[in-house]
Structure 1
Amino acid sequence: MDKVACIVDFSIIIPAYNEKDYLFATIDAIQLATRKLVEESDVGVETIVVDNNSVDGTAEIARSKG
Structure 2
Amino acid sequence: MDNGIGMYPEQVKEINKALESYQETTAMGLGLAIVSMVIHEHKGSISLTSKLDEGTDVKIILNIYKGEQYE
Q: Hey, which of these two has a bigger chunk of helix by percent? A: 1
Q: TM-score, normalised by structure 1?
A: 0.33
- Which structure has the larger Rg over C-alpha atoms? 2
Specify which structure has the bigger relative contact order, considering alpha-carbon pairs within 8 angstroms and separated by 6 or more residues. Answer: 1
